[in-house]
Amino acid sequence: MGHGPGLDTNETKENVIVINRRSFFGALLGIGTAGMGALLAVPVLRYVLYPLYTKAGLGEWSVVGPVDEFSDLAKPIRKTIDFAQRDGWREVVSSQSVYVTKAEDNQLKVISAICPHLGCSASWQNAQNEFVCPCHGGRFAADGAHVSGPPPRGLDALPHKVENGKLMVHFKYFRSNVPNQEVLG
């Protein structure tokens, strides 16, 4: 009768300690699980978000050819280049035609063969000494400058460089039918 409250208090204390221990280990387990979850989530998130952080665009530089090949350039030379294009998780290799020509200052210039009017392929015509687009008759000079027809600008110049004796180009797509170059990718 008289020991009841004392025993109750001790039991209560033990219970509190046991509960506290349980809470402590429970919390520890919870933190560990959350930590592991966070660690595992990083690669998963990186995988899921990868395309968002990878600009859908093109690989950097493509080989046009040995630079010696263009040392005595009398007229534009057509070349097919390959470049890597990333679309989300996929990387596809595409080909495009470019022309190696000379700029006004006699330096090498690489231009896209894509007509800036509506995207047909312009080609060099020896007989006319001009680039001609077959779709709507756009004409361009040997350095790509617009001569006549509907295209609102000249053939697009592409960044190029010479590395280890090779002429390299960074292919880009540009918006059609606008007067100034606007890079699309």
How near is the Cβ of 164 to ligand FES at its closest, in Å? Answer: 36
Sign of the dihedral defined by the CA atoms of residues 123, 128, 134, 139, in that order: positive
The residue (of 57 and 150) whose beta carbon lies closer to ligand FES is 150
Q: Contact, 126 vs 136, CB < 8 A?
A: no
Taking the complex as a whole, how short is the minimal distance between the CB of residue 37 and ligand FES, in angstroms?
A: 55
**Residue 61 near residue 167 (C-beta atoms within 8 A):** no
Q: Which amino acid is at 154?
A: G
CB nearer to ligand FES: pick between 110 and 115: 115
| Choice between 76 and 151, CB closer to ligand FES | 151
- Cα 75 to Cα 143: distance, rounded to the nearest angstrom: 9
Residues 6 or more apart in contact with residue 161 via CB below 8 angstroms: 61, 167, 168
Nearest approach, Cβ of residue 97 and ligand FES (Å): 14
- As measured in angstroms, the least distance from the Cβ of 114 to ligand FES is 9
Contact positions vs ligand FES (CB under 6 A): 115, 117-118, 120, 133, 135-136, 138, 149-151
Q: Are 73 and 108 in contact (CB under 8 A)?
A: yes
Nearest-approach distance from CB 35 to ligand FES, in angstroms? 59
Nearest residue to 85 via CA among 175, 177, 183, 172: 172
Q: Which of 77, 135 has the CB closer to ligand FES?
A: 135
User: Residue 115 or 169: which CB sits closer to ligand FES?
Assistant: 115
